[in-house]
A and B are shown apart, each in its own frame.
Chain A
Amino acid sequence: MNPFSYTRAYGLDTAVEEKVDGADFVAGGTNLIDLMKENVTHPQHLIDINHLPLQEIEETESGGIRMGALMRNADTAYHPLVEQRYPLLAQAILAGASPQLRNMATDGGNLMQRTRCYYFYDTATPCNKREPGSGCSAINGFNRIHAILGHSESCIATHPSDMCVALAALDATVHVKSKRGERSIPFLEFHRLPGDTPHLDNTLQADELITAIELPAKGFADHYTYVKIRDRQSYAFALVSVAAALELDGTTITDVRLALGGVAHKPWRDTQAETLLKGKQATRENFQQVAESILANAQGFGHNTFKIELAKRAIVRALLEATQNEHKS
């Protein structure tokens, strides 16, 4: 690791005050310290935000919850309010990483985690995300884990988070703060597509701190599932994942949420495709139709082309499972 200086922030104002160029926040450290060891990132100063008073889940007036950005992923997944009202979120979090990592990783850090593209990690190879303008090694290289939707000529990386796929489905809001003030970012606008600026993963500005993630009242606790397909059954990133949530009146779909992980530079939610299902019957044929529509414009790069069919099947499976699943607790 390159040398850096270190301070601990105890208040939000100090934390954002110290966030100048060259400084980075460190939360769980599970992504940042890894990237620093690999020399992919080299901040000159670390602001330890683990002591900020953002460690609670509170109920909001509108019937939702507000999760402090420094909540650990494990504590979030096992929190009674999340288990009971947002079991899709709990399931997605517990599908990710390992128990040790989930004990360290924070909710804010999970949103900010960077791609696992091999070339992004390998400083000997060109990568537009790591070094803008140097080229993309993945497009004509090994791209088995790469994107099939929303990619650009500059970058075909995916966002690796499981938690974020559930947050996209559940219409979360990200609350942020800087010296300039506070603002809220709708979850679907938080992560971005690569376009010709793939070095930007999201719309958080350099001086901003994530303070909380808010969920609206509707948690789809009755019919939901998170399907994660990966190379081994546990402790591996998703090749494709699907967060599916349904509201049913008998067998009629009254509301639906569908988000995909492992397929794009951001959690992929196609709200137009969702409307295809509203008012329809919860049948395999209808699910198949929506899967076809979501993947209609998908494009693979050789090694990852299998993901197109895999994603379709995962969508159908997730929707069938969500239809059948009754919330147990």
Chain B
Amino acid sequence: MSAILETEMLPGVSSPGVAAPSVSPTSLITLKINGVEKKLPLAPWTTLLDALREHMDLTGTKKGCDHGQCGACTVLVNGKRINSCLTLAVMQEGNEITTIEGLAKGEELHPLQEAFVEHDAFQCGYCTPGQICSAIGLMNEGKAQSRADIRELMSGNLCRCGAYSNIVDAIDQVMNERGKHA
């Protein structure tokens, strides 16, 4: 399929199927990841997930399904959890993106990371970065009042190893420590 590769489309072009000009499809995109701004030449069709993994060496964020169905790619954008496989990197310019790599302070793990270790909240670990980022989003939202709520509000993160009950234990513990629910 021929495509228009300029960054601006000419107004009034009625059949964009014609004549793809040989302009470079990439443009310089500025992303702020874990507090650091980076400028990257990226094509507009690069997802945030692929930008992280393939262009920034941030492979902590995992690709499970690439279709919004598993949650392995969960990251935080301005403190809210999203699926990085279903957004384009270019759509996230100007936002604060936090990935699993941005949670520890030096050698000191984030309390949720600690709790996941303590509770054995994983087996293979593939879903874990997404689970932890999702749990931080859940705590930021402040809607979970019970273990049942945690289960429902963590349903966007699948775990093929079935570590669910330990994942809920880990999150429940950190929420209790923070006094977020009774």
Q: Could you say which residues of chain B place their CB within 8 Å of the CB of A53?
A: none
B3–A99 contact, CB under 8 A? no
Contact yes or no, A30 B86, CB < 8 A = yes
- CB neighbours of B67 from chain A (8 A): 34, 37
Query: B8 and A7: CB pair below 8 A?
Result: yes
B16 part of interface (Cβ distance < 8 Å): yes
State the main secondary structure of chain B at its contact with A. Answer: loop
Task: Check: A1 CB closer than 8 A to any chain B CB.
Answer: yes
Stretch at the interface among B112-120, B137-145, B171-179: B137-145
Query: Does A272 sit within 8 A of B, measured CB to CB?
Result: no
In the bound complex, residues from chain A placing their C-beta under 8 Å from that of B11 are 17-18, 20
Number of residues of chain A lying within 8 A (CB) of chain B = 39
A2 close to B (CB within 8 Å): yes
Question: When the two chains form their complex, are residues A5 and B4 in contact, meaning their CB atoms are under 8 A apart?
Answer: yes
Q: Is the CB of B4 within 8 A of A45?
A: yes
Q: Which residue of B lies closest to A35 (CB)?
A: B67
A33 to chain B, nearest CB (A): 5
Q: How large is the interface on B (under 10, 10 to 19, 20 to 34, 35 or more residues)?
A: 35 or more
A29 and B3 CA atoms in complex are apart in Å by 20
B17, B43, B68: the one contacting A101 at CB < 8 Å is B68
Determine if A33 and B3 form an interchain contact, defined as CB atoms under 8 angstroms apart: no
The contact sample of 15 A-B pairs, CB cut-off 8 A, is A3-B25, A5-B4, A5-B9, A6-B7, A6-B90, A20-B9, A20-B14, A22-B16, A29-B88, A44-B16, A45-B4, A98-B71, A99-B134, A234-B152, A235-B156
Residues of A within 8 A of B (CB): 1-7, 17-18, 20-23, 26, 28-30, 33-34, 36-37, 42, 44-46, 48, 50, 74, 78, 97-101, 103-104, 233-235
CB-CB nearest 7 A-B residue pairs: A98-B156, A234-B155, A22-B16, A6-B44, A3-B3, A1-B45, A44-B16
